[in-house]
Structure 1
Amino acid sequence: MFTSTKTTFTPSTDIPSLKDKVIMVTGGNSGLGKQSIVELAKHRPKEVWLAARDPKRAAAAVTSIKCDLVEPVDIKILDMDLTSLDSVKRAAERFRSESSRLDILLLNADGMNTVARYGQSKLANLLWGREMARHYPQLTVPLVHPGLVRTNLATTMGQGSLIMRILWWIASLVTGVDVETGTLNQLWAATYPRVESGQYYVPVGKTRNGSKYAQDLGLGKKLWEWTEMELEAYLNG
């Protein structure tokens, strides 16, 4: 777990002008996603797309975000449930019909079932992200760890045992950082001009290799091929 808050990165002064930029944030209705929108919107992008599965919570988040802004920014709600590929496809089609570009994409939506499955999903994120960087060198795909953050994620572990939920909650309470601090690494990665594609960053802007499994090129290739196969009907439909 990474909990260091030592950094010289300050969003208000270190994020460059985002004029004419189009931004999308998944999971933008709460936690790290919402706070990231607040900070990015202060730098006057053309528009921000807040992707979330609950329209009412998304609308409430937009109202709250706009209260934190001195100058108005166009924030659009994109109805997208990541547990439904049909929903994701509809969201993608709507976005493509209404916007001709996408400059910054923060894939922030997440969920927690058990600690083991959460760790497995994080490994998959690293492997897939590195494959994405390899397959699409024209894109910049940094892989970001926010650190241990005090959000409601730790209390929604679903099938996790009561003991593990309590331990995780205590750990986040004692050693975790607040949401504002937790956003720093992803804000840095989204706006730093010399960020490296396929590189794994821990707070703030420090490179790491990850576990031996995260560095397994063969495992990454298998995951990429499996993902392509699973999505084929949606990609070609």
Structure 2
Amino acid sequence: MPNLEQFVNFDPEKDIPNLDGKVIFITGGTSGLGRVSVTSLAKHNPAHIYFTGRNHQAAEKLIHEVQIEKPSVRLTFVKMDMTSLSSVKTACKEFIHDRLDVLMCNAGVMFIPAGVSSDGFELHFAINHLAHAMIIQELLPLMKKTASLPGSDVRVLCLTSTAWMSHPKNGITFSTLRTPQKGFMGSSFRYGQSKLANIIYAAELARQCANTNIKFISVHPGAVNTHLTMSIPWHLRLLTTIVLWFLGVTFMEEAQGRLSQLWAAAGCTKDELVNGGFYMPVGRLSNDRLDKTALSPELALELWVYTQNILSKF
């Protein structure tokens, strides 16, 4: 049966205010929840939406679709290889605006075969965490500048998952991150580790940038039928479906699955957001659902230092 907590009184068409003048950056915008976030936010007249992806054809189709309905909204496709930190850093230079109001770190992979990125890091960790950390680092000075403006409302959303609970015992196995991290239930551990990283990195960003006016949060959209979930191996999808059934949850369609990140991006006031908080669908601060590992400031700081050391090499 569906989890009724996921369906709250939030209607993005009615409850998102006019976004006139705002500039938005969404990773993974050519498909799934990223694509529907682009189309949903475009309806509210932002000045510009940047979105990343790998598929030029899908990007052109999305731009055409938005401009038919909202010709005043400008869009820019940023092609990005998230398995290469140098590629990510170079792609960020395509952002040419003098402000950035919302950064939605939406792109990700799930349960992909074991492997390492072109930089030599486990693939889930490289794409889901390190690539987004590079984007945040490159765009953070501009977001700080925007946050200093009168009436500013700057937000960074890190999309995560309740799969964070399948993280390895020690949370993040730093010693083997430069390997494919193969092993029994390896794909679950690898994915869970990266989703845990999304949660604790957002929390640490909130601490590191406490003197700014930027809100950093992590958001779980719920179990959603997207290309990402439909493309995982059948046995893992079956296992996921069984686990969700025991939890009283079924897969949602994108129309419902988009709600959490849209609410966090623009559907609430910035004062409603707890900096560093973890949110479940829709708009529910859920830090009480996190275990001691996910709440550990020591682990979060260790991840921060590890990540900064990696990024400094590119």
Is the TM-score greater than 0.5?
yes
- Counterpart in 1 of 2:172? none
Shift of 1:8: 1.0
Cα distance in 2 for residues equivalent to 1:171 and 1:211 = 19
Select 1:109's aligned residue among 107, 110, 119: 107
Question: What secondary structure sits across from 1:20 in the alignment?
Answer: coil
Distance 2:259 2:230 in 1: 22
1:122 corresponds in structure 2 to 195
**Which residue does the alignment assign to 1:166?**
238
Do the aligned partners of 1:34 and 1:65 also contact (CA within 8 Å) in 2?
A: no
Residues 91-112 of structure 1: CA deviation (Å, up to 9, x unaligned): 11221xx211110111000001
CA distance in 2, matches of 1:12, 1:165: 32
The amino acid across from 2:192 in the alignment is: G
Deviation of 1:170 after TM superposition, in Å, equals 6.7
Code of the residue aligned with 2:275 in structure 1: it is: S
Structure 2 SS opposite 1:36: helix
Aligned length: 227
- Scaled by the length of structure 1, what TM-score is found? 0.88
Per-residue CA deviation, residues 159-191 of structure 1 (Å, 9 max, x unaligned), is: x6x522333367779701111111111111111
Alignment partner of 2:303 out of 223, 226, 232: 223
The whole-number CA distance in structure 1 between the counterparts of 2:254 and 2:191 is: 19
Query: 2:53·2:77 contact (CA, 8 Å) conserved in 1?
Result: yes
How far apart, CA to CA, are the structure 2 residues paired with 1:65 and 1:148?
26
Q: Which amino acid aligns with 1:44?
A: N
Cα 1:92–1:185 shift into 2, 3 Å = same
Give the superposition deviation at 1:54. 2.5
Corresponding position of 2:17: 16
Distance 2:81 2:275 in 1: 27
Please, what TM-score do these two structures have when normalized by structure 2? 0.68
Residue 140 of structure 1: SS of its match in structure 2?
strand
In structure 1, C-alpha distance between the alignment counterparts of 2:230 and 2:263, rounded to whole Å: 27
Correspondence for 2:221 among 134, 140, 146:
146
Aligned equivalent of 1:99: 97
CA distance in 2, matches of 1:70, 1:89: 30
Deviations 1:55-111 (Å, cap 9, x if unpaired)?
2322223223444x255410111111211111111111221xx21111011100000
Q: Once the two structures are superposed, what CA deviation does each residue of 1:203-228 show, in whole Å capped at 9, x if it has no partner?
A: 11101112221101111111000000
Corresponding residue for residue 156 of structure 1 = 231
Amino acid in the other structure paired with 1:35? V
Residue of structure 1 equivalent to 2:116: none
**Equivalent pair of 1:35/1:179 in contact (CA under 8 Å):** yes
Quick one: percent identity of the two aligned structures? 38
The verdict on how the C-alpha distance between 1:182 and 1:212 changes in structure 2, with shifts beyond 3 A counting, is: same
Report the Cα distance in structure 1 between the residues aligned to 2:243 and 2:257, rounded to whole angstroms: 15
Question: Which residue number in structure 1 is paired with residue 281 of structure 2?
Answer: 203
Structure 2: distance between partners of 1:201 and 1:141: 11
Q: CA RMSD in A?
A: 2.1
Q: Which amino acid aligns with 1:60?
A: K
Give structure 1 stretches of 5+ with no counterpart. none
Q: Which residue of 1 aligns with 2:158?
A: none
State the AA in 2 paired with 1:206: R
CA contact (8 A) 1:30 1:61 kept: no
The DSSP-based 3-state class of the residue aligned with 2:81 is: coil
Could you say which residue in structure 1 is the equivalent of 2:80? 80
Report the secondary structure of 1:102's partner residue. coil
